[in-house]
């Protein structure tokens, strides 16, 4: 939310995204989601995070998530200068 002043142009540029899913995804899917890091959080959610080249690439990831049938909780763009917890 704190990057609301960014222009749409910024969103077309490569950036880090976080895709949050309900349930823990096995490391086995690392190949399917190559390029993203799979983080299993204590609350039972999975965070897929990493650089996304553009919007088309983002939708590609989301399609893969759809095909798993795992509930999608959120998709968020995180600034390149922000470090993950």
Q: Which of 1, 5, 9, 27 binds another protein (CB under 8 A)?
A: 27
- 32 makes contact with another protein (CB under 8 A): yes
Nearest to 54 by CA among 10, 23, 2, 12: 12
- The number of residues that bind another protein (CB under 8 A) is 19
- 60 makes contact with another protein (CB under 8 A): no
Residue 20 CB contacts under 8 Å (≥ 6 apart), including other chains = 45, 46, 47, 48, 72, 73, 74, 75, 76
List interacting residues with another protein (CB under 8 A): 21, 23-32, 40, 44, 46, 66-70
């Amino acid at each position: 939310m704190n990057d609301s002043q960014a222009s749409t142009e910024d969103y077309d540029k490569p950036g880090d995204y976080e895709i949050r899913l309900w349930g823990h995804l096995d490391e086995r899917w690392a190949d399917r989601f190559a390029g993203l890091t799979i983080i299993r959080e204590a609350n039972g959610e999975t965070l897929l995070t990493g650089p996304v080249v553009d919007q088309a690439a983002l939708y590609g990831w989301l399609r893969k998530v759809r095909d798993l049938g795992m509930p999608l909780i959120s998709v968020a763009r995180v600034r390149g200068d922000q470090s993950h917890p």
